[in-house]
Amino acid sequence: MRERRLSLLDDDLVEYEQAMARMAELVKRRQEDAIPDTLWLLSHHPVFTAGARTLGQHLPAPEHGIPVIATGRGGQLTYHGPGQLVGYLIVKLRRDEGVVDYVREVENRLVLACDKLGVAAERRETPPGEQLLTGVWTRRTGRKIASIGMRASRGVTSHGFAINHDGDLTPWDWAVACGMPATDTTSIARELIEEGREVPGAADLRLAIRDAFDVVPQP
């Protein structure tokens, strides 16, 4: 991976629509070179978000009571909720780099973070003609542990990734996440508890992500 230092914004729970408004402002400021490349870490209250390619039949039933919000990012349907760490990436792409190239880099950096927390992980290549396998999977169980959906506007990325730490995984069963009905979604806690191992705390996950993404130390 090429060197890329990121500045950090660090929050706890933020309403999804409030986060989208702030992210749009951050993208505008990055396009104007008013801020450096930035990683914004946060979590959301329960919400399903639908990417541009989401099919109607993949949406959750209304009786579950979790809102569904359409987004401008790539990818398909995903879920956000407590116990999941979201990372929004406001990054100016290099001249020889497209958003798909950067998504591959994000996958590799998330693999590094998972490995540091004791969960062996991998990114996957998409076979020709198959559904895109964007994201990160566990090596031991083949479950999906991190989702990625991004876009670029005037050379600057937005949206990013979500990695499951120790939250309730039930909502993933109420819809078709990422357009893949057979995918078993997992978390760091689920993988490590199955092996009888200690689950790292939320602060440990944030530290692993900051290390994997070469975050510039805060003053």
Active site residues: 178
Tokens of 6: 């990121």
What CA–CA distance (Å, rounded) separates 190 from 145?
Answer: 10
Rg, Å, the chain Cα set = 16
Tokens of 32: 């104007």
- DSSP state letters, 159-178: EEEEEE-SS--GGGGGS-GG
Which residues, 6+ apart, have CB-to-CB distance to 181 below 8 Å?
none
What CA–CA distance (Å, rounded) separates 216 from 214?
Answer: 6
**Strand 78-80 relative to strand 121-122, pairing:** unpaired
